[in-house]
Structure 1
Amino acid sequence: MALELLNRELTPEANQAPAPIPESGDVFGRIGSLETRLARNDREIDAAQSVRFRVFAEEMHAKLSPEAMARRRDFDKYDEFCDHLLVVDNAIEGEIEDQIVGTYRLLRQEVAMANGGFYSASEYDIEPLLARHPDKQFMELGRSCVLPQHRTKRTVELLWQGNWSYSVKHGMGAMFGCASFSGTNPQEHALALSFLHHTVLGKEEWAVSALPELYTNMDLMPFDDINARRAVTTLPPLIKGYLRLGAMVGNGAVIDHAFNTTDVLIVLPIASISERYVAHYGADANRFATKSGDPI
């Protein structure tokens, strides 16, 4: 019942025919004036870090390092070897710094292992999860954000088109990453956290737990006391989007005082993505792709 509610809430549009796969270029998809692609140079990565600063520090009041506050950029050591997915609005006049309206940070397992591991490992014990799936390559999603005035269905769809295209291109077997509730008091999100714990907790081969010293109980309400319809409405849009695709959550939340959030770990096996959404985005990731020379 709970996942039926999620699926009814967003039905993929049926009136937009899939466009052809790009013959060249690096654009993963386009809708109107928006396009999604990877950052091409340090300047674009810097612009993505600026978008992150505006969302995390200015809007969400994250406590970043003095250097980050001085530079007005959200950055860390992972930025050096991650790929940075962008949503660019070409209708905005100005330089690329003005046109980037959303971003995601993508980290493939082989790259993570060559550079000290995944960011999520600072909050969750992911090593057993990786060890149980030696035949799969994992991809970490992080630092997701969209500027307030661009938080529309089109922008979110393009971010997911970019994630899906990237995962197909690199042969990924599963995605994971931390998603956040605003604030550091889990009781304020008791309904949502309990709903996640009781309905989509990863088990057996997909089980993963918060680090013991950071573990915060998510089982704050008995299952019989949970109103599923109301719980769904309290979930952050990003988490709802993950669940629609078939994601699970890790055991335990983590309080991130620096970012002023309560984090949960999302685990999304590629094979679990709903057939309806594979049809929407395209099994070969061509749902919103266009030829490089086509008009926007």
Structure 2
Amino acid sequence: MDMMLRKGRYIARLARNGDDLMAAQRLRWLAFIGARAVAEDTTSLDADEYDAACRHVLIEDQKTGQLLATFRFMLLADGSEIENSYSAGFYDLRKLRDFSGPMVEMGRFCIHPQHSDPDILRVAWGAMTRFVDDNKIQLLFGCSSFMGTETNGYADAFALLKERHLAPRRWLPRVKAPKVFRFASALRRKKPDLRRAQAGLPPLLRSYLIMGGWVSDHAVVDDQLGTIHVFTGLEIAAIPPARQKLLRGVSG
């Protein structure tokens, strides 16, 4: 069944065919790369070898059919399969091999650059919540991206991550990528300005953190996508009950 969720003016559904996948890949290109490319480019896609191993979610306007957001997810039986994930290409995740329950990697999340309705993100989380519940997922993880490849403008955001949201030591990813910003050590004496920090956090990462998510102690500079990202994990059992109730209210 491809329909995952219908809320208000939006519908979240699974990609049905190659055309749906290409539409998702086109939106990903627009969100991650298009701003740095020529305006006349109408055919480029963001695609990689992980697409074939993932399921893809499309969030559309019910009236117009316009694709407004997309993300993909990869289901893993437990931590023994962690090396199959996209994130493992950038982070040393050997500690997570010991995670014993079902896991899902959420990736390539993006919203159309010309649309900013917060309900789009809510519907995305509702769809993911339904998938998490249906498959008894115990850990949701992925890479949360900051736009651009310069770290200076995000000092307060990274200082906040260092101070409040680092991963438990038993799961903490180690450095693997060649180009990283070790913010936990570089900003160890910096106290974040909370207003600037919150403003600098990407909406998806902010949602993870509100629910009790945690991050790596370093960020990866991804020149190909023009982003900086942190590994992000969310143990489902750790989500506060009130927040679980809100999520299931959207997903129900």
TM-score of the two chains, using structure 2 as the length reference: 0.89
Aligned to 1:244: 210
- Which of the pair has the greater relative contact order for Cα pairs under 8 Å at 6+ separation? 1
Q: Specify the code of the residue in structure 2 equivalent to 1:51.
A: L
Q: Tell me how far apart the structure 2 counterparts of residues 189 and 227 of structure 1 sit (CA, whole Å).
A: 11
Aligned positions of 1:18-167 closer than 5 A: 25-59=1-35, 61=36, 71-92=43-64, 99-110=66-77, 117-129=84-96, 131-133=97-99, 135-167=100-132
User: For residues 276 and 70 of structure 1, do their structure 2 counterparts lie closer, same or farther at Cα, with a shift above 3 Å needed?
Assistant: same
Q: Tell me how far apart the structure 2 counterparts of residues 79 and 113 of structure 1 sit (CA, whole Å).
A: 21
The structural deviation recorded for 1:224 is: 5.8
Q: Among all aligned residue pairs of Structure 1 and Structure 2, give the percentage whose two residues are the same amino acid.
A: 29
The structural deviation recorded for 1:215 is: 3.6
Cα pair 1:253 1:262 within 8 Å, conserved: yes
| Root-mean-square deviation over aligned CA pairs | 2.5
TM-score of the two chains, using structure 1 as the length reference: 0.77
Cα pair 2:78 2:101 within 8 Å, conserved: no
The structure with more strand, counted as a fraction of residues: 2
For residues 29-70 of structure 1, what are the alpha-carbon distances to aligned partners after superposition, in whole Å with 9 as ceiling and x for unaligned? Answer: 2222211121122211111111112212212x279xxxxx79
**Secondary structure in 1 matching 2:218:** coil
Aligned to 1:211: 176
Structure 1 runs not aligned, ≥5 long = 1-24, 64-68, 93-97, 290-296
Q: Specify the code of the residue in structure 1 equivalent to 2:53.
A: F
Q: How many residues align?
A: 249
User: For residues 112 and 146 of structure 1, do their structure 2 counterparts lie closer, same or farther at Cα, with a shift above 3 Å needed?
Assistant: farther
Structure 1 residue 225 corresponds to structure 2 residue 201: no
Aligned to 1:193: 158
User: For residues 206 and 38 of structure 1, do their structure 2 counterparts lie closer, same or farther at Cα, with a shift above 3 Å needed?
Assistant: same
The structural deviation recorded for 1:85 is: 1.0
Structure 1 residue 277 corresponds to structure 2 residue 249: no
Cα pair 1:124 1:211 within 8 Å, conserved: yes
For residues 11-44 of structure 1, what are the alpha-carbon distances to aligned partners after superposition, in whole Å with 9 as ceiling and x for unaligned? Answer: xxxxxxxxxxxxxx54222222211121122211
